[in-house]
Amino acid sequence: MKNQAERYLTPFFFELLRYLEQGKTGFHTPGHRGGISWGDGWQPEDLLRIDLTELSGLDWERAKTDAERLAAEFYHADQSFFLVQGATQGLHASMLGCFNPGDRVFVARNCHSSVYNGLILADLYPIYIDIDYVPGWGLPEGVNLAALQQAVKDHPEAKGLILTNPTYQGIATRVNAIRQVIGDRILIIDEAHGGHFEWWGKPDYSAFIAADLWIQGTHKFLGSLTQTGFLHIKGPRVDLGRIARSLQWISTTSPSFVFMASLDLNRAYLAGEGRTLFNRSLEQMTELKRSLASLPGIRVLQDGDTAHGERIVDPWRLSCSWLDAGLTGYEVDRMLREEYNIQAEYADFNQVTLLCPPWQPVADLRQLAEAFQRMACRITGEKRRFPLEFRMPVGPVEIAPRKIAFAQTRTVTPEMAVGCIAAEVIAPYPPGIPLVGPGERITAEMISVLRDIQTAGGTVRGMNGRGEIKISCIEGNDD
């Protein structure tokens, strides 16, 4: 250590305290809002005291089995598993536990990066399914059913489908429509942002209606601690023992009891109060969205905006576009943070998204509404900007992602990469959907979309500091 005094510094901890001192009003993940979503059967000091481990005098195994059984009953599963390594852990265990190396699986193109990593771990061969986009927003809204039907015809050998429902912006699809298309194949639903649709009368949009396995990242919105979630399983298609084994392969041997207790408390709270809370706050959220949408220059994402009319938007997710008032999502995000002390969840060029769980204090919602009104008054509305809307071309995967992951690679300019095999995901924001996946052959159309997005001001992940992308030095699965 160069400077001896440095040994006493705690830069990470200090930064967290510095952030907290600003007293920002948060509309983001995690959704627990300081533990409101755990009811009142606990005390803050309990959290340190219950940080125990697998002690001989502690009947933790029975307690965990009981707690997982109660979760399964509540979420309509045959079996539920606590997750302490995020929704990612459940996705990876599902992929490892349902398929065999080399299997072909349908993968909705808007899946989260954890699914792309899961393809590498489980050595699966993806057949990407194109998705629909919300017109005028450029947001992914769900799997394109015609593309899925075609894929099922073209690839009868595919063993299952992995998709995200609802989307990050809360757009939900009726899951039975998907089940009808894929028949008896395994259906894995990434429900990281869902779990609550049933409680306000929309069960048809919930994974449990049709999925064999579904994964909830309950820390994101439903209110358990960061890193926690559930893997739920239902029906005869899944080998429970294999899933349990797969979970073991990728899990820590020291799961946090604090995390698991938060899952237990949160489930009990929602089982007791969930329906009442969600139904009571539904009207409030509808009214908030209606009043914000009436401000000049502001659009609020709502039912009816989607390309596919049956889709609905989560009332507790607020996605707004200020482009008609001349502001990008990035600019609105910065203004909210710096001028109104409000922290949003996510922003891209087109829009900004805020999370408002039903236990969000009413004063916070008022603060948000006032901030929007003040911002709308200040903005002249003269400047006009248009949403970045791009369809991401989807190509066939020519080399398995796992093979690519361990192959030699090199970096080249995007133009030089045309005709080569991509070694990594390249994902522009917006819309945050991979333009190219690992193992996919890069086309001139893909690069033209990439350049259009950059020209229009979008950001791209998967390029190095020199604007280059990684391609594979091997050309085929047998190289």
Ligand X SMILES: Cc1ncc(COP(=O)(O)O)c(C=O)c1O
How many whole angstroms separate alpha carbon 197 and alpha carbon 195?
6
The verdict on 114 binding ligand X (CB under 6 A) reads yes
How many whole angstroms separate alpha carbon 162 and alpha carbon 131?
13
Instruction: Yes or no: say if 278 and 200 are a contact pair by the CB < 8 Å rule.
Output: yes
Q: Which stretch binds ligand X (CB under 6 A): 84-92, 170-178, 356-364, 463-471?
A: 84-92
Find the farthest-apart pair of alpha carbons in the chain and give their distance in angstroms, rounded. 69
Minimum CB–partner distance for residue 98 and ligand X (Å): 17
Q: Pick from 164, 246, 321, 328: which binds ligand X (CB under 6 A)?
A: 164
Minimum CB–partner distance for residue 461 and ligand X (Å): 14
Q: Which residues lie across from 26 on neighbouring strands?
A: 343
Minimum CB–partner distance for residue 86 and ligand X (Å): 2
Within 193-212, the residues that bind ligand X by CB under 6 A are 193
Q: Which stretch binds ligand X (CB under 6 A): 86-94, 132-140, 400-408, 410-418?
A: 86-94
Instruction: Yes or no: say if 471 and 411 are a contact pair by the CB < 8 Å rule.
Output: yes
The verdict on 354 binding ligand X (CB under 6 A) reads no
Q: Pick from 190, 198, 333, 348: which binds ligand X (CB under 6 A)?
A: 190
The verdict on 87 binding ligand X (CB under 6 A) reads yes
Minimum CB distance to ligand X smaller for 217 or for 358: 217
How many whole angstroms separate alpha carbon 438 and alpha carbon 179?
27
Joined together, the tokens standing for residue 462 give: 């998967």
- Strand 131-134 to strand 139-143: parallel, antiparallel, or no bridges (unpaired)? antiparallel
Minimum CB distance to ligand X smaller for 128 or for 372: 128
Minimum CB–partner distance for residue 373 and ligand X (Å): 30
The verdict on 86 binding ligand X (CB under 6 A) reads yes
How many whole angstroms separate alpha carbon 182 and alpha carbon 150?
11
Joined together, the tokens standing for residue 311 give: 């889709």
Minimum CB distance to ligand X smaller for 170 or for 297: 170
Q: Which stretch binds ligand X (CB under 6 A): 151-159, 186-194, 247-255, 377-385?
A: 186-194
**Axis-axis angle for helices 60-74, 257-293 (nearest 10):** 30
Minimum CB–partner distance for residue 128 and ligand X (Å): 16
Count CB-CB contacts under 10 A for residue 425.
19
Minimum CB–partner distance for residue 28 and ligand X (Å): 11
- The gap from C-alpha 348 to its chain's centroid, in whole angstroms, comes to 15
The verdict on 173 binding ligand X (CB under 6 A) reads no
Minimum CB distance to ligand X smaller for 106 or for 322: 106
Instruction: Yes or no: say if 307 and 135 are a contact pair by the CB < 8 Å rule.
Output: yes
Joined together, the tokens standing for residue 442 give: 């890069």
The verdict on 88 binding ligand X (CB under 6 A) reads yes
Q: Which stretch binds ligand X (CB under 6 A): 7-15, 188-196, 298-306, 350-358?
A: 188-196
Minimum CB distance to ligand X smaller for 224 or for 328: 224
Q: Pick from 38, 75, 133, 168: which binds ligand X (CB under 6 A)?
A: 168
> How close are the terminal C-alpha atoms of the chain, in Å?
46
Instruction: Yes or no: say if 149 and 161 are a contact pair by the CB < 8 Å rule.
Output: no
Instruction: Yes or no: say if 89 and 83 are a contact pair by the CB < 8 Å rule.
Output: yes
Instruction: Yes or no: say if 114 and 250 are a contact pair by the CB < 8 Å rule.
Output: no
Within 210-269, the residues that bind ligand X by CB under 6 A are 217, 229
Q: Which stretch binds ligand X (CB under 6 A): 185-193, 262-270, 366-374, 469-477?
A: 185-193
DSSP string, 110-128: T--HHHHHHHHHHT-EEEE
Q: Which stretch binds ligand X (CB under 6 A): 80-88, 203-211, 363-371, 390-398?
A: 80-88
Which residue, judged by CB position, is nearest to ligand X in the bound state? 86
The verdict on 92 binding ligand X (CB under 6 A) reads no
Joined together, the tokens standing for residue 50 give: 């219950």
Minimum CB distance to ligand X smaller for 172 or for 447: 172
Q: Which stretch binds ligand X (CB under 6 A): 34-42, 85-93, 287-295, 310-318?
A: 85-93
Alpha helices in 4-144 (DSSP H): 11-21, 46-49, 60-74, 86-98, 113-122
- The gap from C-alpha 166 to its chain's centroid, in whole angstroms, comes to 9
Minimum CB distance to ligand X smaller for 230 or for 349: 230
Minimum CB distance to ligand X smaller for 65 or for 113: 113
Q: Which residues lie across from 342 on neighbouring strands?
A: 25
Minimum CB–partner distance for residue 43 and ligand X (Å): 26
Joined together, the tokens standing for residue 360 give: 């969000």
Chain residues binding ligand X by CB under 6 A are 86-88, 112, 114, 164, 168, 190, 192-193, 217, 229
